[in-house]
Structure 1
C-alpha cells in the first residue's frame, strides 16, 4: 500500500484481466490475501468488460470458499470510469482527492491504460499525472496500478534498433565473479523473452519518461505459448512467474516449477 505499480505488456497478454482480478482480490479479508477494501478502475481503452469481471470475481470467490452472494458484493464494490481523452484523464486526477475522501474504503486505484490516451505525443504530461497518483497512493494509503504498452525502441537520433532480448534482464554485479553472466545465461537458455519477431525491437513506453516515478514495474510477455510476468523493478527484482488466463481468471502455470532459479 502507498505505492505506484506499473504493468506493461504486449497486446492480448492479459494486463486488463490481471487488473480485474486485483479489483476482486483486494476486497478479500487480510487473512485471505486481500485488504477488505473497494476498488476504482479507470478504463481508457474500452477493454473492460463487466461480464468478464463477473467471471473473475466468481473465480476469486470460489478459490477462497466464499458464500454465493460474494460475487454480487464484489461487483457492487468496484467503481468503473470510462475516459476518452487526455483532458478527461487530467480532470479526473484533479478531483480524485475529493472522491477518495468521500470513499475512505477504497484501497485500489487502477488506470488501464495510462499511456493509451496520450499515444502519438504528450507523454511528458503522463509524468505529472503519475506524480499526482503517487502522492495520492501515499496520502490515502492506496495501491495504485497503471498499465501501459510497448513501443519501438529507438536510439538518441530517433531511429529504431534491435535490442538484445536478454539485455533487460541483466542483474547487477554482486561481488561474486561470474555470477551475473551465469544468471544471464540461465535466462537466455529459457528463452524468457521469446517470440523474437515480437519483442526484441520493443521497450515499455514509459522507460524514458516516468520509470523513476514507479515503485514496482512488471513486464508481461510470451515465452512461446506461455505467459510470463517479469518483475524488473521492486523489492523482488529479477523474479518472474509463468501464468495462464482461464475462465476464472489469472492462475499460476505449473511449468514455472521446472524453470531454473533466477
Structure 2
C-alpha cells in the first residue's frame, strides 16, 4: 500500500516521499527516533505516523492481502512460458537488436549510459527512437503501444521527435510493402501526428517531483491503457545535484528502482533509464563508470553502455541476467538510430 493513501497531512506525506518512504513496508522496521531524524520532525509526530501505519497495515492484513500474495506465486513453467513470449521494442538497428535478443525487453528495466564524446544529443535520439518504435502498429510487426517520457533535464526535442516519427513510418511502410504486395495502409495510425499524440511528456524539476511522478505512474498507466514504454531522461540529474546525504540518496533510489521494476512486471512494459557517466578510483587509477554508485548498479535488469571505437559508435551489454556480454555498432542519422554505415564519421556533439 502506498504512503500517499495514508490519512496524514500533505506536508508529512511529502516528507515521507522525499525521504524515500513510498509504501508501508518501508516503514515496518524503523523506530520513532530514526524516523524523526530522517524527516526532521519531533519524536511525537514520528510516533503518530508509525501508529497510523500500524493501524492501516492491520486493516490490510485482516482484509486478506497476505493470502493474495501467497496465491500469486508462479511455477517455473509459467516463468519459462512468459520468457518465451516476451515482447521487444526494436531499436531500428538490426545488429543492436540481435545482441539485445530482439530489442529492448518488456517487463524489464534497462539502463543506458554513454561515455564522454557520445554527446547528449546522441543519447537523446536513442530514447526518442524507442518512444516512436514502440508505437509501430501490431499489423506491421510492432507493439502498437504508447510511451511515457519523463524529462528531468529539459532536453526533449519535439522537432526531432517529429522527424524520427516521419522516418519510422516511411521505413515501416517501405519494408512492409516489400513483403506484402497487396497491403492496405492504415491511414490514421501511420501519421506523425498520431505518433506524437501517444507520447505522454512529464517535465521534472526536482527529485521530489521525480518520485511523485513515478508513484503516480501506476494509476496513470492503468487509465491510459496499452502503455508499453517508460523513459526517464535522465534518472541521474536531480540525484547528483540535490543530495549531500548519500545514505538518504541510496534509500530513495532503491525505493524508486523497486517501483519501476513492479511497473514493468505489472503492465508488461519496458522501462528505459538514461544515466550519466562519472569517474571511480579502481585499482590505483580513475576509470569511467555510470553514476549513482555500486548499489544502483544492481537496480536495473540490463545495463547498456554506448562508446566510440574509432569513428564508429558501439553499444555494449555490460550487465544482463539473460544476455551475453556483446557489442554492436550503430549509426545516428537524420532518421534516427540505424545500422552502422561504412562512411560514418565521428562528430563531436557539444
Instruction: Answer whether TM exceeds 0.5 for this pair.
Output: yes
Structure with greater helix share of residues: 2
Matched, 1:87 2:208: yes
1:6-25 deviation line (CA, Å, top 9, x unaligned): 10113516221111000110
Q: Give the CA deviation at 1:31.
A: 5.9
Moved more, 71-80 or 227-236: 227-236
Contact 1:115 1:126 (8 Å CA) reproduced: no
How far residue 34 of structure 1 moved from its aligned partner, in angstroms, is 2.3
Q: Confirm or deny: 8 A CA contact 2:149 2:201 kept in the other structure.
A: yes
Q: Match for residue 331 of structure 2?
A: 244
2:53 aligned partner? none
**Structure 1 unaligned residues grouped into runs of 5+:** 163-200, 256-262
Residue aligning to 1:195? none
Whole-Å separation in 1 of the counterparts to 2:113 and 2:169: 27
SS in 1 for 2:294: coil
TM-score between the two structures when normalised by the length of structure 2: 0.57
Instruction: Give the aligned length.
Output: 214
Shift in alpha-carbon separation, 1:32–1:217, aligned structure 2, 3 A:
farther
Secondary structure of the equivalent of 2:285? coil
Asked if 1:119 is matched to 2:119, the reply is: no
Residues 109-152 of structure 1 show CA distances to partners (whole Å, capped at 9, x for unaligned) of: 00010011111445412222111111111111111111101111
Distance 1:254 1:246, change over 3 A: closer
Work out the CA distance in 2 between the residues paired with 1:30 and 1:209: 38
Q: Whole-Å Cα distance in 2 between the matches of residues 117 and 101 of structure 1?
A: 27
TM-score with structure 1 setting the length: 0.76
Could you list the runs of 4 or more consecutive aligned residues of structure 1 that deviate by over 6 angstroms after TM superposition?
Answer: none
Q: C-alpha separation between the residues in 1 aligned to 2:308 and 2:133?
A: 24
* Greater C-alpha radius of gyration: 2
State the structure with bigger RCO (CA 8 A, min sep 6), 1 or 2. 1
Whole-Å Cα distance in 2 between the matches of residues 32 and 226 of structure 1? 30
| CA-CA distance at 1:155 after TM superposition | 4.7
Residues 17-32 of structure 1 mapped to structure 2, 5 A cutoff? 17-30=125-138, 32=140
Equivalent residue, structure 1, for 2:271: 144
CA RMSD of aligned residues (A): 2.0
Shift of the alpha carbon at 1:33?
4.6
